[in-house]
Amino acid sequence: MTNAFVWTRAAAVARKEVFHILRDPFTLTLALILPVLMVALYGVAIDFNVENVALSVSDSDQSQASRRLIETFASSRYFLVRGVGSPAEAVRDVSAERARACLIIPPRFEKDLLAGRGAEAQILLDGADNSTVGPVAGYVGSIQTLASKQIADFDPPRPYELRTRFLFNPELNSRWFVIPGLAVVVMAILSILLTALTVAREWENGSMELLLSTPVRPIEIIAGKLAPYAVIGIIAQTLVYVMARTVFGVPFVGNQAVFALGAVLCLTTYLAQGIFISVTTRKQQIAMQFAMLTGMLPSNLLSGFVFPIASMPPVFRYLTMIFPARWFMEIARDTFLKGSGFLELAAPFLALTFFCGAMVLAAARRFKRDLEP
């Protein structure tokens, strides 16, 4: 029986690959440092809640009211106030990137306020910087209420109120949103890239032909070559999970098994995709570019990691469905924060299983067609 899959032969290929990886400690270290570094950097650096916005203030009124208004901005912790002379100078600060916003107080500010006409000041935001415009526009509203109360003693009873309960993330912590997503991004980078490159390297060196002339069958080569990278992928996932829980205190309310199954499905799909790329391209430089195009970029930009899928045009909302990253993103976030089970996550799991099967099949067929006589 020559057609059977022989475990020992696959294991031998796997052992050879492990030696290969161990002999290159640089790559192995990089592969394991990358997830740790990413979680650490993102965890420490990310805060969507913008603070310390540089605000240029031009006060043409120079009255007690205008000074108290500036004081309200300065003490809000959102703004770093910097006084300038004319309104034009304040605007120039924004175009020279010295300020993200400017506050222009007109000369009759206090008079208008005392006369009961209502005083108006102008706020100009820097529309070139996407990450600050939205939040800052939000702060302005609350400062308006606060200033009216403190300066003009204006605090009317409210006939109605909107009370919001922020579910799953009551502290509105952006880290809870981003770090579970990193599990997906790390997976997309490590598993596609490493497998695409190692197999392409065998082609480039010509050692693939050599391997094929031995009694090892193609499917055993694939299994043997993938096994060590699957282990690296699983270790990387575990690192992300442990760091998220212990260092950054991200809650995990769901079932670990659900998350783990999603991770394994996604990992398998990506390993198969890596093999497919390397068999098709057979050159490391091109394999790398395709791995980036089909793995890293979509997992960063089209998976809902930072940019919500619901905001995309309809064509793209459907397009994202072909990326496993999008489905695993849903599984990762929902198991971490919402505690969803298989029932709620039926759609992502079905889709992932489908892509996993399809990709493994495509890779195996491509491999067979190109290799067997």
Partner 1 sequence: MNRTLLGFIRKELIQAVRDPRMKFVLFVAPIIQMALFGVAISNEVKNIRLAAVFDSKDFVLRDVYERSIAGTWFVPAPVSGEDPFALIQAGKADAVLVPPPGGFTRALGRGDAHLQLLTDATNAVQAQAVENYLQSILRQTVRDDLGIVPPDPPIRFDVRVLFNPSLESSIFMVPGVMCMLMLMTTMVLTNIAIVREKELGTFEMLISAPVSPAEVIYGKTLPYVLIGMANLPLILSVAVFLFHVPMRGSFLVLCGASFAFVCTTVAMGTLISTFCHNQTQAVMGGFLFMFPAMMFSGLLFPIDNMPAGIRWMAALDPLAHYLGLLRNIMLKGGDARYVAFHVAVLVVMAVVSVVASFRRFRTTLQ
Residues in 54-83 at the binding interface with partner 1, rule: CB under 8 A: 54, 69
- Find the shortest distance in angstroms from Cβ 47 to partner 1: 6
The candidate with the shortest Cα–Cα distance to 262, out of 355, 338, 337, is: 355
Could you say which DSSP state residue 6 is in? P
Q: Residue 236, interface with partner 1 (CB under 8 A)?
A: no
- Least CB distance from residue 3 to partner 1, whole Å? 33
Q: Is 369 in the site for partner 1 (CB under 8 A)?
A: no
- Look at phi and psi of residue 161 and say left if phi exceeds 0, alpha if psi is from -120 to 50, else beta: beta
Token pair in block for residue 72? 């309200």
**Residue whose tokens read 């208004």:** 69
Instruction: Report the site for partner 1 in 176-235 (rule: CB under 8 A).
Output: 176-177, 189, 193-194, 197-198, 201
Residue 321 within binding range of partner 1, rule CB under 8 A = no
Which residue lies nearer to partner 1 by CB, 219 or 312? 312
Straight-line distance from the first to the last Cα atom of the chain, in angstroms, rounded to the nearest whole number: 18
Binding mask 14-33 for partner 1 (x = CB under 8 A): ----------x-xx--xx-x
Cβ proximity to partner 1, 9 vs 351, nearer residue: 351
Kindly identify the residues of this chain, within the stretch 95-134, that bind partner 1 according to CB under 8 A.
95-97, 100, 113, 116, 118-134
Does residue 352 interact with partner 1 by CB under 8 A?
A: no
The rounded distance, in Å, linking the Cα atoms of 85 and 83 is 7
Q: Least distance (Å) from partner 1 to the CB of residue 32?
A: 11
C-alpha 171 chain-centroid distance: 20
Q: Is 306 in the site for partner 1 (CB under 8 A)?
A: yes
Distance in angstroms (rounded) separating the CA atoms of residues 278 and 370: 12
Q: Which amino acid is at 74?
A: A
The pair phi, psi for residue 213, each rounded to 5°, is -80, -10
For partner 1, the closer CB: 5 or 307: 307
